[in-house]
Amino acid sequence: MSWVGTSWKMNKTLAEARDYATRLAAALSDGAPAGVQPFIIPPATAITTVRDILGPDSPVVLGIQNAHWADAGAWTGEISVPQAADAGARLVEIGHSERREFFAETDETVNLKVKATLAHGLRPLLCVGEPGEVFAAGGSVAHIMAQVAAALDGIDDVSRVLIAYEPIWAIGEHGREARPEDIEAVFAALDAAYGDRVEAILYGGSVNQGNAEETLRVPGVNGLFVGRSAWQVDGYLELLRIAASLA
Ligand code: 13P
């Protein structure tokens, strides 16, 4: 199964979320393309709106971009995993590089959040990635394997976990598109260590309609985690079609 999804990051009003969800629901009214598991991670404000438009039988898995490790309490500004589940999220994105860089997310808090997510029966989407300097110095594999090991520390059953390898140097408008040879070694290492233990291992970072196919052909890649190129529904649907053509 190829998991292909998008985080909208801090984008979209409710009107924009409604429009996207309405078009997506219409396009997937006969179900998801064979072999592809779609997922959408809206901002928290729009999860219930998207859930209600997609409806209970939608093939789309909904997620939240972050959740706290505690179930409840005096944690101003935070959202717990049970609250995310209550709103319709079935997947929790954890440890995106933007959260690690700008919101002090550490390997320790990532580990706590993965555990909380699993304890409540949701799927963690664990994001890992190395900075450009580490890539340039040839340290990508060691960096990524250490991040994943720290995130999964103390967890025996990782079968519900999704891993997204997102090199920091490839993410966002200042990122550069990765070539298959840039990411092959990390996927070989992740696949050898986790390929038969986790749900899927995804690639993210400047994925677009032009490079999706070659990326999905890299051994060990089981899906795509996309930002900008999936923020318009037609672009997202094209990525689902590409993934389905290879499934
Ligand atoms: P872009 O696809 O916009 O580079 O973002 C990738 C990403 O960070 C997905 O979480």
pLDDT in tens, 176-188: 999 999 999 999 9
Count of alpha carbons within 13 Å of 76, Cβ hemisphere only? Answer: 0
- The answer to whether the pTM exceeds 0.85 is yes
**Band of pLDDT at residue 217, cut at 50, 70 and 90:** very high
Question: Which of 155, 77, 146 is closest to 113 using CA atoms?
Answer: 155
Share of the chain above pLDDT 90, in %: 100
Residue type present at position 109: T
With b meaning 16 or more CB within 10 Å and e meaning fewer, what string describes 88-114? bbbbbbbbbbbbbeeeebebebbbbbb
- Token readout for 165 is 């390898």
Active site residue 166: yes
**Would you say residue 63 has pLDDT above 90?**
yes
Residue 3: enclosing H or E segment and its boundaries? Answer: strand 2-7
Q: Is the dihedral of CA 65, 225, 134, 189 positive or negative?
A: positive
**Would you say residue 99 has pLDDT above 90?**
yes
Between CA 20 and CA 12 the distance in angstroms is: 9
Hey, which residues does 41 pair with through a beta bridge? 7
* Separation of CA 9 and ligand 1 centre (Å): 9
**Band of pLDDT at residue 60, cut at 50, 70 and 90:** very high
- Angle between the 14-27 and 47-54 helix axes, to the nearest 10 degrees? 30
Average pLDDT of span 160-164: 98
Check if 223 has its Cβ closer than 6 Å to any atom of ligand 1: no
Check if 227 has its Cβ closer than 6 Å to any atom of ligand 1: yes
Active-site position among 96, 105, 143, 199: 96
Between CA 65 and CA 73 the distance in angstroms is: 20
Check if 205 has its Cβ closer than 6 Å to any atom of ligand 1: yes
pLDDT at 198: 98
**Would you say residue 62 has pLDDT above 90?**
yes
**Would you say residue 203 has pLDDT above 90?**
yes
pLDDT at 247: 85
Between CA 159 and CA 25 the distance in angstroms is: 28
What does the mean pLDDT of the chain come to?
Answer: 98
pLDDT at 79: 98
Check if 226 has its Cβ closer than 6 Å to any atom of ligand 1: yes
Q: How far apart are the first and last CA of the chain?
A: 7
| Shortest-distance atom of ligand 1 to CA 175 | 4
Between CA 236 and CA 28 the distance in angstroms is: 12
**Band of pLDDT at residue 94, cut at 50, 70 and 90:** very high
* Residue in the structure block whose two tokens are 């590409």: 242
- Token readout for 205 is 């970072």
**Would you say residue 8 has pLDDT above 90?**
yes
**Would you say residue 138 has pLDDT above 90?**
yes
| Shortest-distance atom of ligand 1 to CA 172 | 4
Between CA 43 and CA 17 the distance in angstroms is: 9
**Band of pLDDT at residue 54, cut at 50, 70 and 90:** very high
Hey, which residues does 226 pair with through a beta bridge? 6
- Token readout for 222 is 């089981």
Active site residue 181: no
| E-only strand ranges, 86-156 | 91-94, 123-128
Check if 9 has its Cβ closer than 6 Å to any atom of ligand 1: no
* Separation of CA 3 and ligand 1 centre (Å): 15
**Would you say residue 141 has pLDDT above 90?**
yes
Check if 5 has its Cβ closer than 6 Å to any atom of ligand 1: no
**Would you say residue 90 has pLDDT above 90?**
yes
Mutational test site, ligand 1, from 171, 173, 224, max ligand atoms within 8 Å of CB: 171
Residue 8, sorted as left (phi over 0), alpha (psi -120 to 50) or beta, turns out to be alpha
* Separation of CA 228 and ligand 1 centre (Å): 6
* Separation of CA 48 and ligand 1 centre (Å): 23
